[in-house]
Amino acid sequence: MFAVASLLALVSQVSGTPYISGGDTPAGTDCSGLASWVSNAATNRPVFGDRFNTGNQESALLARGFKYGTQPGALVIGWNGGHTAVTLPDGTPVSSGEGGGVKIGGGGAYQPQFTKHMYLPMEPSGQPAPEGMIPPPPPGFAPPPPAELPPPAGAQPPVPLDVAPPPPLDPMAPPPPAPEGLPPAPATFPL
């Protein structure tokens, strides 16, 4: 199933991802996108590309093996008609859209505004990684290289410069003449 450490590693990797409504890439996501990523990782699905929203969240979580309610030591997701957040099995709350993009913290699944809760119990084999070991990323998680990420909304593409690079410097050549009106450069520098 999943290890708490691998879910925390996923959230740590995407922490700081900007809030983009409907987003489903490391370039940006919203609250239900983050909940989708965490539930996908916990159920061995590809992290990206299989997202739900607060309107179809209940059926999506049931399809992933979640149960109604909450349970200590389980992955818990809470939501209402407009927002959702997650509490990892170790009690760590994670969110997106609570004052910015993806972050470790926020209200988590137990916010009073949430009217629905579902949980994914941990199997006995779902033990955290041994002390000092970094767990592997969840199955299917491979963020694209930064060069392949789409630019943020409203970003301008880089403008190429049509300026030739300067010629290479010869360390043995004498210094160039000083521009008019300036004293000549010293031949040596004091140490």
Q: Does domain 4-125 have CATH number 3.90.1720.10?
A: yes
Q: What are the residue ranges spanned by the domains of the chain?
A: 4-125
Average confidence (pLDDT) over 72-96: 92
CA distance 182 to 178: 6
Nearest to 86 by CA among 98, 99, 97, 77: 77
Neighbours of 20 (CB within 10 A): 18
31-42: per-residue pLDDT in tens?
999 999 999 999
pLDDT tens digits for range 122-159: 765 445 555 555 555 555 566 666 666 666 666 666 66
- Count the Cβ atoms, other than its own, within 10 Å of residue 50: 17
